[in-house]
Structure 1
Amino acid sequence: MNDAATLLPEDEARARVLALVPPLATEWVSLDEGLGRTLAEDVMAQRTLPPWDNSAMDGYAVRASDLTGPLPVRLPVLETVYAGAMPRHEVRPGTCVRIMTGAPLPDGADAVVMRERARPVPNGGADQVDILEAVESGQFVRPRGEDAHEGALLLGRGTPLGIPELGLLWGQGQLSIPVPRAPRVAILSTGDELCRADEPPKGRIVDTNAPSLALAVRRAGGLPSLLGIAQDTRDSVSEALSRAHGFDVVLTSAGVSVGERDYVKEVLAALGVEQHLWRVAIKPGKPLVVGKRGSTLFFGLPGNPTSSLVTFELFVRPALRRLLGHADVAPARVSGRLDGRLSKSPGLAHFVRVTATWREGSLWARPLSTQTSGALRSAASATHLLHFPRDASSLSHGDGVELLPVSWGA
């Protein structure tokens, strides 16, 4: 039997991962800390905003019915109202009020004429103005309660918190918000060939996986902790993973394939981790193992640096986003066109690192010059992953392609 036929497709593997993700408890954080999080509870409006109709333009507050006849219409100006001040006069029929953007609309007025569509009367000072065009009721008026009505739902549970959403909450005078707590993520590298950046290499190479994954975790909203580097022995891997208590997610890199000294899968089983998937029909990243013990999710990522980043993007980041309360967690996908040619044998979906640029009305994706998973250069400068479908064998220049924006870029 073809080995590739027994491997899980990427979307099915991600669905299995997400089915294992537990909800996290709620914590309260300041609004400053809420960016990128999601609401853990519904938030009701405590204030009506804006609290009154107000002007969207510098101009003149008028009664629209006064402007239905021949133009221009000359009106006396009762006062000038600035933002932050309340009107002192009602706009009676045949009168108007000079008004600034954001200022409360005076009683009686139902529209605003832009300053550019009005002409002060010569020698009339600020007391008279000729209105040069008609307006409809409500024109250039921001209605009371446009942002929120007291007692109504302001933002629902699960709402992603971007800058506008936090602005709404600030406008309500809210200083803290309930959000799922940030997931705690332990990260372990394995391999006799690895050393820390502050150690003399002595025939080894510096471990880049753990610090790179820690940055990816932090960017995804998690709290990373490094467990160090385990040697390629059963005891060393077991000792390191035994220190992973209390974490929501544990990431290991390397040691999950079928090599003689690949002990991660074996040690996870010995520690009571139930394996839910192993090996996915993708390149890079085929030797991925995912398991769970209690509420802790374990990812055994491949050891090649680019493979670990790609599998993080496809499987770990969606899981972290689900832990953070996001509903839409699958990697985003956009349409583009291939700038070049690609070929492969059918059986595995390839995720090709590309640099995508916009030209001629399309997003053109050019594959990086190297695609080897052992070199970080094959991920540096990538803006997207190009999905080369599992059963396809070739893609030609100009072909439509599916692109996944990467989160690891600048």
Structure 2
Amino acid sequence: MTDAATLLPEDEARAQVLALATPLSSEWVAVDEGLGRTLAEDIVAQRTLPPWDNSAMDGYAVRAADLAGPLPVRLPVLETIYAGAAPHHEVRPGTCSRIMTGAPLPVGADAVVMRERARAVPDGGADRVDLTEAVEAGHFVRPRGEDAREGEVLLARGTPLGIPELGLLWAQGLGAIAVPRRPRVAILSTGDELCRADEPPRGRIVDTNAPSLALAVRRAGGTPSLLGIARDTRDAVAEALGRAEGFDVVLTSAGVSVGERDYVKEVLAALGVQQHLWRVAIKPGKPLVVGQRGGTLFFGLPGNPTSSLVTFELFVRPALRRMLGHVDVAPPRVTGRLDGRLTKPPGLAHFVRVTAAWREGGLWAKPLATQTSGALRSAAAATHLLRFPRDASSLAHGDLVELLPLSWVA
């Protein structure tokens, strides 16, 4: 039996994995194809936006000093300024202009009084208004250059691209951007007991690992390719892995433990793959192999379906995100409370499948009844993984716990 004390802690193992993963070469894509990716280079603003001070409200462009006395203050209205139109009059002391949201602030005005703080005054056809609120300079004014100033770094290299970031790029008139290319990921299942979903089982079980991992790769931003199922012979595993040339990442499932027909580690070594780690102090997912040959990373994942998904979540997904240029790639963690009680022997960190729900002012995590590594049904029901620390042996109801939101949740 392997001494758990010799196994690599999860955080150390992930650090070793991430030391091997670097952003890939860049490619040019349309801005709207950049969602979820990162910038491969700084974006320098070519336009100052907004190009002029403009109104944040429908109301009246005023000189704030005109409203310093007793209220209301009655002022003549010089004109109405609409968004997309230029002002024609300067706002001189004792005057104002009606203005719409987004319209340029006229010369002389330094604030906007919202329409709800004004009353129109019938005055023989003259356009006048009573303003009922005193304001300071800058009130409801969007200043020139608030979003961007020409020549400044608008978005730095490595910035993750969400919808607001893409909006900033469109506003600069950009149609294409440079981003790290998507990792190409080969996926291989091994095992005599496996068949494809479209084959009659005939005493075998359907391989769910490869298609599940392909979806996980795609959701993480990579491009998956399935290599099929390799039978449990050295030659079959070698032939299948020989077809993985040119990929950035190779994922195998099963065949990495110490069984008589577990050939993956042996074949990887024969193919010149340098092994960087084997076995991590976690459950599920202890038999994990990570190696590298040239620019290709190899992950030998466990064969049990949930173990495969958990090790992908903890190690492969962060590596893919690093290849895509993300800086913050560790699995996100939130704090909650345990709804129930957990016990285990010390030595391995357990990642317990839980359903987490907000109640009583906090996030409560309830362990699912089934925690076996071959059960996909509990993976389907889980919303988070609860990290049961390596050296702990019990957690009581209400204890603070660390929760990892699952990326595989719909």
TM-score in same-fold range (> 0.5): yes
Compared CA separation, residues 299 and 125, structure 1 to 2 (3 A): farther
Change (3 A) 1:43 1:126: farther
**Residue 27 (structure 1) shift:** 0.5
> How big is the alpha-carbon RMSD for the aligned residues of Structure 1 and Structure 2?
1.0
Whole-angstrom CA distance in 1 between matches of 2:378 and 2:342? 16
Q: What is the SS of the residue equivalent to 2:380?
A: coil
Once the two structures are superposed, the pairs formed by residues 168-207 of structure 1 within 5 Å of their partners are 168-207=168-207
In 1, Cα distance between the equivalents of 2:15 and 2:124?
Answer: 73
Superposed, 1:213-292 pairs within 5 Å as 213-292=213-292
Identify the residue that residue 341 of structure 1 maps to in structure 2: 341
Q: Distance in 1 between matches of 2:67 and 2:269?
A: 81
Compute the displacement of 1:405 (Å).
Answer: 0.6
Counterpart CA distance in 2 for 1:376 and 1:350 is 17
Tell me which amino acid in the other structure corresponds to 2:226: L
Residue identity opposite 1:192 in structure 2: D
Distance in 2 of aligned mates of 1:396 and 1:61: 62
Q: Secondary structure at the match of 1:158?
A: coil
Query: Cα 1:95–1:240, aligned 2, differ >3 Å: closer, same or farther?
Result: same
Q: Residue by residue, what CA displacement relative to the aligned partner does 1:164-212 show, whole Å, maximum 9, x if unpaired?
A: 1110000001000011100000000001111111111111111100000
Deviation at 1:392, TM superposition (A): 0.5
Deviations 1:115-155 (A, max 9, x none): 11111113455710001011000000000000000111110
Asked if 1:160 is matched to 2:165, the reply is: no
Query: How far apart, CA to CA, are the structure 2 residues paired with 1:214 and 1:87?
Result: 57
Question: Is residue 211 from structure 1 mapped to residue 180 from structure 2 by the alignment?
Answer: no
After TM superposition, list the pairs within 5 Å mapping 1:16-31 onto structure 2: 16-31=16-31
Matches of 2:140 and 2:161, distance apart in 1: 29
Amino acid at match of 1:391: D
The amino acid of 2:255's aligned partner reads G
Partner of 2:136: 136
SS at structure 1 position matched to 2:381: coil
Aligned to 2:146: 146
Report percent identity of matched pairs: 85
Instruction: List gaps (5 residues or longer) in structure 2.
Output: none
Q: For 1:253-305, what per-residue CA distance to the aligned partner results, in whole angstroms no more than 9, with x for missing partners? A: 00000011100000000000000000000000000000000010000000000
Question: What SS is found at the alignment partner of 1:166?
Answer: helix
Distance 1:80 1:17, change over 3 A: same
In structure 1, C-alpha distance between the alignment counterparts of 2:123 and 2:229, rounded to whole Å = 84
Q: Are the aligned partners of 1:186 and 1:227 in contact in 2 as well (CA < 8 Å)?
A: yes
**SS of the residue 1:29 aligns to:** strand
Q: Distance in 1 between matches of 2:376 and 2:126?
A: 69
1:363 aligns with 2:363: yes
Looking at structure 1, the residues matched to 367 and 144 of structure 2 have their Cα atoms a distance apart, in angstroms, of 53
Letter in 1 for 2:381: S
Greater shift in the superposed pair: 13-22 or 240-249: 13-22
User: Hey, what's the Cα distance between the residues in 2 that align with 1:315 and 1:126?
Assistant: 72
Q: Structure 2: how far apart are the matches of 1:109 and 1:42?
A: 36
Spell out the pairing of 1:290-369 with structure 2 (5 A cutoff): 290-369=290-369
The answer to whether the 8 Å contact 1:313/1:331 transfers is: yes
**Are the equivalent residues in 2 in contact too, given 1:387–1:401 (CA < 8 A)?**
yes
| More deviation, 376-385/244-253 | 376-385
Measure, in 2, the Cα distance between the counterparts of 1:59 and 1:256: 70
C-alpha separation in 2, matches of 1:28 and 1:129? 54
Q: Does 1:388 align with 2:388?
A: yes
| CA apart distance, 1:23 | 3.0
Whole-angstrom distance in 2 between the partners of 1:80 and 1:106: 11
Which residue type is aligned with residue 233 of structure 2?
A: T
Give aligned pairs, total.
Answer: 410
Aligned with 1:113: secondary structure? strand
Distance in 1 separating the partners of 2:32 and 2:237:
39
Letter in 2 for 1:175: G
One-letter amino acid matched to 1:247: F
Q: Measure, in 2, the Cα distance between the counterparts of 1:57 and 1:227.
A: 59
1:24 partner letter:
L
Offset of residue 82 of structure 1? 1.2
Superposed displacement of residue 308, structure 1:
0.4
Q: Residue by residue, what CA displacement relative to the aligned partner does 1:362-401 show, whole Å, maximum 9, x if unpaired?
A: 1100111211110101201211110000010111110000
For 1:189, the aligned partner's letter is S
Query: What are the Cα deviations for residues 320-364 of structure 1, in whole angstroms up to 9, with x where unaligned?
Result: 000000111111111000011111010000000111111111110
Preserved CA contact (<8 Å) 1:22 1:295: no
Q: Is the 8 A contact 1:49 1:146 kept in 2?
A: yes
Q: Deviations over 1:59-95 (max 9, x none)?
A: 0000001111111100000111111111111111110
- Distance (whole Å) between structure 2 residues aligned to residue 378 and residue 231 of structure 1: 28
Q: Which amino acid aligns with 1:117?
A: R
How many Å separate the matches in 2 of 1:330 and 1:148?
31
Structure 2 equivalent of residue 78 of structure 1 = 78
Say whether the 8 Å CA contact 1:120–1:126 is kept in structure 2.
Answer: no
Counterpart AA for 1:152 = E
Partners of 1:352 and 1:30 lie apart in 2 by 41
The 2-side partners of 1:20 and 1:346 are apart by 30
Deviates more, 1:20-29 or 1:228-237: 20-29
- Which residue does 2:58 correspond to in 1? 58
